[in-house]
Every structure is written in structure tokens, then in C-alpha cells.
Amino acid sequence: MSESLKNFKIAISDAEELMGCYDSMNNSNHEVAPDVLKRAALIMTLTAWETYVEDMATELFNIKFGALQGSHVGNFMNEQFLIRLKTFNNPDSLKTKKIFLEFFGIDVSEKWVWNNYQDPDEVRSKLNKWIKRRGEAVHRSQTDLTKPHIAKRDEIEKCIRFFSELANATDKALADA
């Protein structure tokens, strides 16, 4: 297990704790738990994914190209890598595929299969939908209270599980490469 995956597991626990707070509030004698906790859990889940991808790419870069550090070629590669990382946000399937393919020759998105997901295209589609939803959660407050919230409780649980499995699949694909 990579250091990046270990850190992801710690980061994703923030989203799990937020959902625990949501559940506790719903099960107590207090008011109904605020939906903002679900939105925050969604954002934290996708932030954990983004951090994992960036950390994993950095970890792999250091392993693969550490011997070149200090040389002209190594400095150039490091500069190009850092430029890509600075512009790397909202790691949808295409951006994630591109960074690992460009720097390491690995299309991780083709290895995204596990228990309930046997088709990488389905995983890529699901990832892209969650990325879009994160953008909505971050940039659009829910001002119309008559509309349903951005995600239901069980959807957030599925989201956390999906990204946990996606990080595991990505880690395995990179370890096997």
C-alpha cells in the first residue's frame, strides 16, 4: 500500500465522520440534521480523491525519476511535472488518465475494476458524475429549499465507498505496473 493510499484513508475518514454527525443528529431529539453535512461530506470525499491522485503522482514521480534529480533533464522533468500539478484540479477520468499516462506510461483508468464495477467505462462515467456534483456542491448553495438536496444520505455513503474502492484500484494498478 502506498503512502498516498494510507493518507487517503485518513482523509476519507473526515467524510465518514461528517456522515456520523449527520446520523447522530437525525437520531437525537434535536432538529433534523442540516443537509450541509451531506454536502460537506461530498466535498471532503472528492477532496480526498484529488489529494490522493496528486500525492500518488508525486510519489511515483519521485520513485521513477529520483535518480535524475539535480541533472538538467531531471530539473526539466520536475518543472514540467510541477506545472501539471498546479493546474491539476477536479481529477476527472480524463485528467487522471492523462497525468499517469504522460509521465509514467500507465493508463490507470483501464485498470479501474473491482467487485461491482467490471467495466472501466462505467467507472470513468461515475467518477465524472461525482466530479460534476462536487462542483455543484462547492459553487452553488441551495437557495431553493423546495428542491431536493444535492445528494441523499445513501448516495453519500455510496460515494465514499466508490472513491475508497477507486483509490484502492488505482493504487493496485500503479503497484502492478
pLDDT digits (tens, 9 = 90+) for 119-171: 999 999 999 999 999 888 776 665 555 566 678 889 999 999 999 999 999 99
Q: Give the start-to-end residue ranges of the domains of the chain.
A: 3-176
pLDDT score recorded for residue 127: 97
Comparing C-alpha atoms, which of 66, 52, 169 is closest to residue 108?
Answer: 169
- Alpha-carbon gap, residue 16 to 148, rounded angstroms: 22
pLDDT digits (tens, 9 = 90+) for 17-31: 988 888 877 777 666
pLDDT score recorded for residue 23: 80
Q: Are 170 and 108 in contact (CB under 8 A)?
A: yes
